[in-house]
Every structure is written in C-alpha cells, then in structure tokens.
C-alpha cells in the first residue's frame, strides 16, 4: 500500500508548494493595489505587502500548510529579484561620469552604518536591526537589506521590520525634500546630487529629484547608482566580518555561504552597461523585479509578531530618524 500512497503524498506537497507561491503572489498584487491608493502611493508596494502579511498573521495565524511555497518565494524569488535589480545599474554611466561621486557615496555608507550602530547602542536598540537599517540607509533601502540579511544571518522578522521602517522613513524624507526644494538657495545639480547621496531607496530619490526637473533627476539617479554599485564590495566585507566573528567565537570555523546571487547582480549590471536594451523591455524587467521583490517580502512579513514589533521597532525607528536627519544636513554641505 505504501507504493500507492507515495505519489498521493508527493502530489499533496506539490499543491501546497504551489499554494504557498500563489499566496505570496496574491499578497504582492494586493501590495501594489494598496500602494496605488492616494496617500499610500509613496509608501510603496513592498511596505504595503509586509503590513498586509503582518496583519494576516496577527488575525489568522501563519498558514502552515503553505509554508514550503511561502519560504521558496521569500528566499529564492528574493535572490532572483536582486539579480534582476542589476539591470537598474548602468556601471558605464557611473564610471565615466560619476567617479567623483563614489568617494562621497562610500562616505555616506560608512557614516550611516557607524551612526546607526552607535545610536543603536545608546538607545539600546536591537543590534541586528541597527545594522540592517544602517546598510539600508547607506546603500539602497530594502534591496540592500534583502541582499545583506542572509550574509549577516539576520532573522527574517528583523529583515521584514527593517524594510518596513526604511520604507516609512524614506517616504517621509523624500516628501520633505520635495516640499523644501523651492526654498533652497542651490542649483538643480546641487539639489539632485544631495537627493542621490542622502535618500534611502531609488524610488525615494526619483520622487524627490523629479521635483526640481529632469536635470536634477539625472544627477540624483547618478549619485544613487554609485551607492548601488558599492553593494557588492559591502556584501563581501560583511561576509569577511562574519567569518572573522565566527572564527573568534568558535574553535572550528563555520562556513559562510557565498552570496552568488550578487555576482549575478553584477553580471547583469555589466551586460546592461555594454548592451543596449530596449526601453520597453527594461521597463518590463523593472516591473518584474519589483513584483518578485514584493512577493518575497510577504514571507518575511508573516514571520513578524505584532507583540515583538512594538518592543523591537520603536528604538531603531528613533535611531534611523536621527541618522537620516544628520545625513541630510551633512551631505547638503558636502555636495
């Protein structure tokens, strides 16, 4: 009888896996739908999908029967999205036109991580959240957090909380930039670079930069691309740091998984830099990347407990607000 039960069991597992992936896709669609509502459009589909997933778990619990498919989306779709994110980075533009910005971009990353970790200690925030938020603030928001979280072995709950916080703070700051732009006594180029080296996500940079026109937007995106370019060396540094940390903690060194998906990210960046990709195809790939990243966030959001969120999120939220304010002021005068 066991011979006949095995196919049935495998079929049941397959359907549960499909159901879990479909569940993640459904919440991703809902995330995009909620992000199109006036007042929520600047928050973005990632944050909306995470909030919906958190609320679902709070009221209905984790859908255990669908866990395998949800975890697949949270892990593998996330890595595929990071790889496709490479198409957004044109390294030729960064290298030929923005090498001078790379030093400032590197300084922004170092400052953001150092300040978040320092303030995190002062306000007694969770160290993992402080590190992830520092990386997200310094590099490129949710994408950077998602890329580095597996390397530093962050909990999925911490990753989801970090993405939600950085989406909220980045949205507030980008709207603030847009509001004060007409009153700033600086050129559009200065304003654009300031947006690019100080705001959190690519979408936040685009929102604030566009307020001063196309020239400001171009410089804003150029400055932001430099920070995205530094994601790979930062990830390798994190990997080295984790190896040293484990080696010092244990007599036997544990193996750290190499982030191969980041090499895919860089290869697609190189490909997109030397091959002219039609704009409609590039836009489609960008939409696919955003959808996959949003679907991956659903699995992370389901791991968040509202009870833990209240106790863990407030202190890092205070730290990232102070860090972002200091970064905005300092970078304005450095540009």
Residue 6 CA to chain centroid, in angstroms? 41
Residue 261 CA to chain centroid, in angstroms? 15
Rg (CA), the chain: 20
Looking at residue 125, the DSSP 8-state letter turns out to be -
Residue pair 273/87 in contact (Cβ under 8 Å)? The answer is no
Counts for the chain of helices (H) and strands (E), in that order: 16, 0
d(CA 48, CA 52): 6
Nearest to 51 by CA among 313, 325, 316: 313
Nearest to 43 by CA among 169, 149, 202, 214: 169
Nearest to 44 by CA among 168, 140, 220, 198: 168
How many degrees, rounded to 5, is the angle at CA 239 between CA 132 and CA 164?
Answer: 15
Tell me: the pLDDT tens digits for 153-188? 898 889 888 988 888 888 889 889 988 998 999 999
Q: What are the tokens at 228?
A: 């995205």
Low-confidence stretches of the chain (pLDDT < 70) are 1-8, 42-43, 93-99, 248-259, 308
DSSP letters spanning 33-56? HHHTSTTTTTT-HHHHHHHHHHHH
Cβ neighbours of 203 (radius 10 Å): 22
d(CA 310, CA 307): 6
Looking at residue 154, the DSSP 8-state letter turns out to be -
d(CA 201, CA 293): 14
DSSP letters spanning 59-92? HH---GGGHHHHHHIIIIIHHHHHHHGGGG--HH
List Cα–Cα distances, 71 to 24, 43, 163, in angstroms: 9, 24, 17
Q: What are the tokens at 263?
A: 């090499």
List Cα–Cα distances, 256 to 20, 32, 112, 154, 265, in angstroms: 28, 35, 25, 13, 19
Nearest to 82 by CA among 227, 296, 283: 296
User: pTM of this prediction?
Assistant: 0.75
**Structure-token match 């040293």, residue found:** 244
Residues 6 or more apart in contact with residue 183 via CB below 8 angstroms: none
pLDDT attached to residue 320:
95
């Amino acid at each position: 009888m066991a011979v006949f039960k095995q196919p049935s069991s495998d079929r049941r597992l397959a359907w549960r896996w499909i159901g879990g992936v479909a569940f993640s896709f459904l919440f991703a669609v809902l995330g995009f739908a909620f992000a199109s509502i006036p007042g929520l459009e600047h928050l973005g589909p990632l944050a909306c999908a995470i909030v919906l997933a958190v609320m679902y778990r709070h009221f209905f619990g984790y859908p255990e029967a669908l866990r395998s498919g949800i975890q697949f989306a949270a892990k593998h779709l996330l890595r595929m999205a990071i790889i496709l994110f490479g198409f957004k980075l044109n390294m030729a533009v960064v290298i030929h036109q923005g090498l001078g910005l790379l030093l400032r971009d590197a300084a922004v990353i170092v400052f953001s991580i150092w300040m978040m970790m320092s303030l995190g200690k002062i306000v007694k925030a969770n160290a993992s959240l402080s590190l992830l938020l520092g990386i997200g603030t310094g590099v490129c928001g949710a994408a950077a957090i998602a890329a580095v979280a597996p390397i530093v072995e962050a909990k999925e709950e911490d990753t989801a909380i970090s993405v939600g916080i950085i989406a909220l703070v980045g949205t507030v700051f980008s709207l603030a930039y847009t509001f004060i732009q007409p009153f700033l006594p600086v050129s559009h180029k200065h304003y654009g670079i300031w947006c690019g080296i100080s705001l959190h996500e690519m979408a936040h940079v685009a929102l604030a930069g566009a307020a001063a026109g196309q020239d400001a937007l171009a410089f804003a995106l150029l400055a932001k691309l430099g920070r995205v370019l530094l994601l790979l060396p930062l990830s390798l540094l994190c990997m080295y740091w984790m190896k040293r940390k484990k080696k010092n903690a244990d007599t036997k060194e544990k193996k750290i998984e190499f982030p191969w998906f980041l090499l895919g990210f860089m290869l697609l960046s190189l490909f997109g830099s030397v091959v002219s990709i039609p704009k409609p195809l590039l836009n489609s790939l960008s939409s696919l990347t955003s959808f996959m990243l949003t679907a991956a966030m659903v699995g992370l959001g389901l791991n968040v407990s509202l009870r833990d969120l209240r106790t863990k999120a407030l202190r890092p939220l205070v730290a990232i607000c102070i860090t972002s304010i200091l970064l905005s002021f300092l970078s304005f005068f450095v540009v």
